[in-house]
Amino acid sequence: SEYPEDLEDLLPYAKGLLINTGTLTNETWELYKSALDIAEKYGVPTVLDPVAAGAGAYRKKVALDLLHHHTISLVRGNAGEIAALIGESIETKGVDSAQIDNVGELALRANQQLGIPVVITGKKDAIAVNHQVRILENGSELMTLVTGTGCLLGAVLAASIHLADEDSLLDCLEEVLSAYSIAGEMAEQKTLLPGTFQIEFLNSLYAIQSEEVEENKKVIHYE
């Protein structure tokens, strides 16, 4: 909701809060801050998706303000967005396009500097929690052709992290990201067209079973 009066009414019942800065304005910036304050008051886990933080100074400023002055449980972004948050630069051609050779190292640096769990998504995904890093190699190239797959992942993460405590968060994130990416692979088996892929992906995400995740996930424990 973008209605300020909703926050105090709805957040006490929420299992998670996603702050996605895709539609950033001065007004939504204030809304983000209010939502994070209320989430902290009620112990609601929070996920920050700093959309295009690497593409402009204003977006980076807002993301850093939220990170430095509020309790954030997890930050999720592509390589360019996460790099920007720790003062590094990666060339990008769009808000979802940044890639680097060693995403695990970037995730670890971000986790160390920001002091919170980090998820980086791209051709390979990386999770960093308490200086432990895992690389995930599932997924479909078609996911890059459907606008909003990254934003949807932020919502899925926000809905899931309340299930884990600090000791189990890394395993929880591995399971969630693997399921999400394997759902993309399952959808690709049914269609190679991006329009119908979107529908098949949502169907697969709804129907995927834990046994399918365990059988198909590709995870590297980064050293």
pLDDT tens across 126-177, in order? 999 999 999 999 999 999 999 999 999 999 999 999 999 999 999 999 999 9
**What number is the average pLDDT over the span 4-15?**
93
Give the separation between CA 104 and CA 93, rounded to whole angstroms.
Answer: 21
- 34-62 residue pLDDT tens: 999 999 999 999 999 999 999 999 999 99
Phi, psi of 146, deg, nearest 5:
-110, 115
CA distance 139 to 180: 8
DSSP assignment string, the chain: ---HHHHHHHGGG-S-EEEEGGG--HHHHHHHHHHHHHHHHHT--EEEE-TTTTT-HHHHHHHHHHHHHS--SEEEE-HHHHHHHTT-----SSTT----S-HHHHHHHHHHHH-S-EEE-SSSEEEEETTEEEEE----GGGGGSTTHHHHHHHHHHHHGGG--TTTHHHHHHHHHHHHHHHHHHHHTT--SHHHHHHHHHHHHHH--HHHHHHH--EEEE-
Instruction: Determine the pLDDT at residue 90.
Output: 77
Cβ(4)–Cβ(34) below 8 Å: yes
189-203 pLDDT per residue, tens: 999 999 999 999 999
As given in the structure block, the two tokens for residue 35 are 């939502």
Alpha-carbon gap, residue 90 to 98, rounded angstroms: 7
Among 93, 79, 19, 85, CA closest to 49: 19
Q: How far is CA 4 from the centre of its chain?
A: 24
**pTM score of the predicted model:** 0.93
Given 3.30.565.10, 1.10.10.10, 3.40.1190.20, 3.40.50.970, which CATH number is that of 4-222?
3.40.1190.20
Q: Using alpha carbons, list the distances in angstroms from residue 87 to 52, 94, 161.
A: 14, 19, 27
Query: Tokens in use for 11?
Result: 């957040």
For residue 59, give both structure tokens.
């977006």
**Can you give the pLDDT at residue 4?**
86
81-131 pLDDT tens trace: 999 999 998 765 555 545 556 899 999 999 999 999 999 999 999 999 999
Q: Report yes or no: 79 and 110 within 8 Å, Cβ to Cβ.
A: no
CA dihedral 69, 73, 79, 82 (to 10 degrees): 10
